[in-house]
Structure 1
Amino acid sequence: MIELKNIGYFEIFNIVRTGISILKIQNGISKFILGVLAIFTTLVLFKMSMFYYENYATVNRAFNWGSLLLALVFVGVVGYFLVKISDQNKKLNWAILLVMLLVFMVVATTWVLVVPKTQLSDFGNFWTRVPGLQHGAKLYETDNDYFSRFAYQSGYMVYVLGVVKIFGYHIFAIQFLNVIYQALILLFTYLLTVKIFENIKVARLAVLLLMIDLDWFALNSQASNQYLGSLCYLLTFYLIMQDKLWAYILSGVALTIGCLIRPIGPVVVAGIVVFAILYTMFENGKFNYQKPLKILLSLVIYLALFSLAGWGIRASGLNAYGLSNYDPEWKFVTGLNYQSNGTYSPDMDRLIDASKPRKVMSKKEKAALHQEINYLNKNNKWLSLFINKVGGLWSQRTMATNFTGYSQNHSAKTVERVDYLAYIGSIILIIFSWIGSFSLFKTKFGNNLYLLLLPMLAFAAAQLLIEVQGRYRIEFLPVVAILAGLGLYQFFIKKDV
């Protein structure tokens, strides 16, 4: 009996020791992730400061500095009242949120009515092809056209066709649906913040900082897939956080729709997988197999539904390539071009000749890719390119207002001022998200925060290699806004969250 008792105590000791070790490892990994985030936001802030100095600090000083100061005062005053209003009454909390969403929808709809209805760039590719498709035209002519090279865009094309089928060929239907999606994004930004920090006041501030960012919502006038895609990804995260079987099943459906609409699914999936391994497989120092299996169920549902959707698109005759990427080289050719800092440029676009077969152009693009890599290796420009790309994607203007065609019916001076006012929203998000990233080291929050941070950091890492545009960050601006809400909150309290 004594020997058995001794063995029992020894086993208990080992279990406790193992649990403590796992917790130490998990805490170490968490601090590492927060450290990476802090470095990232610091770099974004530094590049934003450089961009501001080079483009705005020394020109139109009265308007630029005055507008920025007024915007900060506005955020401070409104933020102060949002924090001072009690959060103990549930009805009052919802009333405040609904008022904020209503104000946003009025402003966002007004923006849609003010800017031209012309659909530009890739957005025009979706909208202008609809009448032809309705009368039997093909989505593409050769295997080197836009929709054959980037067949994964077919998912959003189906959505556009569906909206036109229901509401007719009226761009306002697409635009107003975008406004609704944006309002729902604000709602889920609020819900996710409350879920993570259990702090309604931080959630109010996060919504405030995102809703005033014209750089974020300006693309609602275009047939843009970013808002619906962003909403689906946020919904996926929120459902996973519910930790219920039905929610895991629905999260797989939401993830599928998100990837069909806005195909950045691989980085989101990568973030979810890492989260599952680091934060659900071991909880409180104990092995837990149920949560990882439930998340695996979500991913299996996503893979099955996405594959089925690809088959359906091929079977429908819309696109023989399904949802594939038939031109994997192009994003890397542009993304590793040092002269353009990894952004789209007309010079790079000249490589494309849609009249030539994909096999011919693929060889040409591969040759160009090797040239870019050799240049970066020979001149030791990799780090410089990566830093510049972080600035282009996260620190500079999203260029959303440029895609509205606002310059068609307004003076150059007006356009310049509107573009700057839009960028002020990004500046405020960048400043307060930087503060928020450091505040995390002394703030209590649930591990669910990492379900948002890991996909965003995975996205940021992937963008180091492929083409970047400022508007590509739109999907993750709600996550940035959550950090910014926490950062702004620090100015109104004397104790930790």
Structure 2
Amino acid sequence: MDKLQKSGWMASKLLACFGIIFFGVTFVSTFVNMFFVNASVSKMLGALFVVYAVLLALVHVVTAYMSRRLFLVLLMAAAVVLRVVWILMIDTPPVSDFAVMHDTALRLAGGDFSVGHAEYFTNWTYQLGFTVYEALMIKLFGDPIIILKIANIVFSAATIYVIYLTAAKVFNEFCGRVSALLFAFYIPNIVMCSVLTNQHLSVFLFFLGCYFILHKGMTAKYNWIFIGICFALGNVIRPLGSFFIVGFVVYVVLIQLVPFGKTLFKQKQARSILQKMVGVVAVFFVVQQLVNFSFIYAGITDYKLSNREPYWKFMVGLNAETNGTWSSEDSEYARPFKVGAERDAAELEVIKERLADKSQVAALFVRKLAIFWGSEDASVFWSVWDMDKPTLAFTLKLVERVTYFLMAGFAIITFLGLIRRKDPELNNQAYMLFLILLLGYAAVHLVIEIQTRYRLDIMPAFIILQSFGLYVVYKRLGLKRQTQ
């Protein structure tokens, strides 16, 4: 093993150690949130026992007694029906940014392109991508808001299938089924279907791109084109594409190229992987430029689909008084400054002040990590908006908390297994793609604004990684039978 190969091996081990630390913090902070923030410890314990028992029973049924086809048909049917029932029962109105984008989409569909030049979109031009998508849906299918909510269900169901294929590829058929099962019944993923958020479509596109990375490997003839297109279109809908591109490059270099060692440029396979990696990045940027040009040419906007206030989320994210959550004081501070160089300079000055006290910054990072990954998901708040349904909201939050807590525990078991490397099913390092993405996502949110609903953007990676831990628990309980 030469130095390059050894450094790659050490980096993999180090990432696995960071995985244990991350999920350990998530587990502990979720425990604290469950039993010290929530009022009823007895209800929480009862829910924890019930959800754990039901989960194991469901896992046993879907892995031991169902064929692959039967499992997928029943799961997809159950997932769709559950979400349809939810959007019919809960008529969530568009509010906040969701309302701005929907109202603008209605006017765009009616031919009024001037709305794209409103202050909201000149500041945060990247929001136009999803707004135009909504406008196209309205133009094609009419303006009843339920059409957009049904589209959310379609993309949510498609993501479930992508997660199944991906987890089965990364680990095994058992993990594919339990990952799909958990995502299908994950409360935030269900209740957010009634909210006009861009996350359902973007999550589908980003993780479809991840699947293409692993499907047949990077040496496949056309996969690199599909990866670039998926990440680019996902970025048009929600501006996380650059993050996924960076995570992809880190994964390919560290896991697929470094093992070649000193023979990297001599091996035909390595050269092919390197060329396709560059091709993915090129396709991503070409598609971005094409979309930018088309929006500007159509007269929807004068700017690229980017954030014209790049320091805002950093300024808010480094606010120790609000623990990195949205700050009305910061908003009032920034408003008088003109967007562009003037506002950038003003916000950058605040950022420098907030970074000056290193101990305070370190303490803020610890609090943000615990809050972002341990607090209850805000999806119920957004979905059951201003409705007098306290019992329903409490029940949903209870189930979300205990399910998330269990998954964090299973993930710790996964990474203990990865460190020990005694299980032959862990020889495939494809899981590293999702660990890199998850750790990178956590690192980025140490310095930018946090909202717990942002967890949904990366939850497929979280659920895929924890699935092997559930597999280990299932085997240790003596329940394992041959998966159909």
TM-score of the pair, normalised by structure 2 = 0.90
The residue type paired with residue 381 of structure 1 is: Q
Q: Aligned partner of 1:436: which letter?
A: T
Do residues 222 (structure 1) and 195 (structure 2) align? yes
Q: Quick one: which of 210, 232, 235 aligns to 2:205? A: 232
Q: Report the Cα offset of residue 93 of structure 1.
A: 0.9
The answer to whether the aligner puts 1:246 opposite 2:228 as a matched pair is no
2:33 to 29, 51, 54: 51
In the TM superposition, residue 235 of structure 1 has moved relative to its aligned partner by 1.1
Match of 2:186 among 213, 218, 224: 213
CA–CA distance in structure 2, aligned partners of residues 166 and 130 of structure 1: 12
Distance 1:382 1:44, change over 3 A: same
Paired position in structure 2 for 1:259: 235
Match of 1:170, as an amino acid? P
CA contact (8 A) 1:215 1:425 kept: no
Q: AA paired with 2:23?
A: T
**Alpha-carbon shift at residue 359 of structure 1 (Å):** 5.1
Contact 2:206 2:234 in 1 (8 A): yes
User: Which whole-Å CA distance do the structure 1 matches of 2:390 and 2:337 have between them?
Assistant: 37
Kindly provide the CA deviation profile for residues 162-214 of structure 1, in whole angstroms up to 9, marking residues without a partner as x: 111111112111111111111111111111111112x1112111122222210
Deviations 1:364-398 (A, max 9, x none): 43343333223x43xx1122111111122222122
> How far is the alpha carbon of 1:80 from its aligned partner?
2.4
The 1:259–1:357 alpha-carbon spacing in structure 2 relative to 1, beyond 3 Å, is closer
Out of 59, 64, 81, the position equivalent to 1:84 is 64
Report what 2:54 is aligned to: 74
Matched, 1:127 2:127: no
Instruction: Tell me if 1:304 matches 2:278.
Output: no
Q: What is the CA RMSD across the aligned residues, in angstroms?
A: 2.3
Structure 1 stretch displaced more, 329-338 or 420-429: 420-429
Q: Distance in 1 between matches of 2:24 and 2:273?
A: 34
Secondary structure of 1:188's aligned partner: helix
Distance in 1 (CA, whole Å) between partners of 2:156 and 2:204 is: 8
1:24-173 matches, within 5 Å, as 24-56=6-38, 59-85=39-65, 92-133=67-108, 134-136=110-112, 138-139=114-115, 145-173=119-147
Q: Does 1:294 align with 2:276?
A: yes
Per-residue Cα deviation, 1:468-494 (whole angstroms, up to 9, x for no partner): 111112121111111221111112214
Query: What is residue 376 of structure 2 aligned with on the other side?
Result: 397
Equivalent AA in structure 2 for residue 114 of structure 1:
M
* Distance in 1 between residues matched to 2:399 and 2:335, nearest whole Å: 38
Name structure 2 gaps, 5 residues minimum: 265-269
- Of the candidates 330, 337, 353, which is equivalent to residue 319 of structure 2? 337
- Letter of the structure 2 residue corresponding to residue 173 of structure 1: I
**Cross-structure match for 1:483:** 465
The share of aligned pairs that are identical, in percent, is 22
**Gapped runs of 5+ residues in structure 1?**
1-16, 87-91
In structure 2, C-alpha distance between the alignment counterparts of 1:114 and 1:349, rounded to whole Å: 35
Q: Does 1:408 align with 2:386?
A: yes
CA distance in 2, matches of 1:78, 1:119: 35
- List structure 1 runs of 4+ shifted beyond 6 angstroms: none
Which has the higher Rg, Structure 1 or Structure 2? 1
| Cα distance in structure 2, aligned partners of 1:367 and 1:391 | 27
Counterpart-to-counterpart distance in 2, 1:284 and 1:81: 43
Q: CA–CA distance in 2 between the matches of 1:368 and 1:299?
A: 34
Q: 1:275 is matched with which residue?
A: 251
